[in-house]
Amino acid sequence: MALLEMNIYMQNVLHKIEINPDDTQCKLEELTDKDINKTGTKRDHEGKRIYERTLSGIKAIQSKTQYGLLHAKSKEQSSEQKIVEKTRLGVLEIEMDTQFCIQDIEEKAQDSEYKVVAMTKRCVDEIEKDTQLCVNDIEGITREGELKLELKALELKSDLHEMVEKCEKKIDKQIQDGVENVYKATMDRVDEDYERDSKSK
């Protein structure tokens, strides 16, 4: 903003000086001639000196004004170049930061994906382990139940065998007792018949 104001000011100064340089020079010559006519030779030299110094001052002002304009324009261009350069650097920094953020996001996403996969695998392993433990428990309980059933069956079989043996012994005893009773009754009957026959003779 300051460069723009300086540029406008310099343009106005130069414009005022260069509006009509010929007219300015003519007026200076007229004033100098009047001074010469009025005062004579002494004033003639002084008028020429004033005239020359005035022209020299005008040229110096024009030169400095032109230099100021060029310098202001150069500074303005330099500022524009700096702004462009800084803008370009800013854009590059933003692009680099954006790229870095993208890479960071991609790395974090990939890391999160690896973590999710690892956690999923760990969960699956734990589920498989728990399932296997449950299967083992079920198999153990089933096997234990089968063993208990087998043991109970053996116990029942043993009890049944004992009962059969007892029944067989009881039946054998009853048969033996029956045979002995029949034998005794038969012998008693024979004895009675013998005694009766003996008495009848």
181 vs 167: CA distance, rounded Å: 20
What is the CB neighbour count within 10 angstroms for residue 134? 10
In a structure prediction context, what are the per-residue pLDDT tens digits for the chain, which is 201 residues long? 455 565 565 566 555 555 454 454 555 555 445 544 444 454 556 666 666 777 777 777 777 767 766 766 777 677 777 877 888 887 888 888 888 888 888 888 888 788 888 888 888 889 888 888 888 888 888 888 888 888 888 888 888 888 888 888 888 888 888 888 888 888 888 877 777 777 766
Q: Where are the domains of the chain?
A: 2-102
> Residue 11's closest CA among 82, 73, 100?
73
**Cβ-contact 113, 37 below 8 angstroms:** no
Q: Where are the alpha helices (DSSP H) in the chain?
A: 2-17, 21-39, 41-200
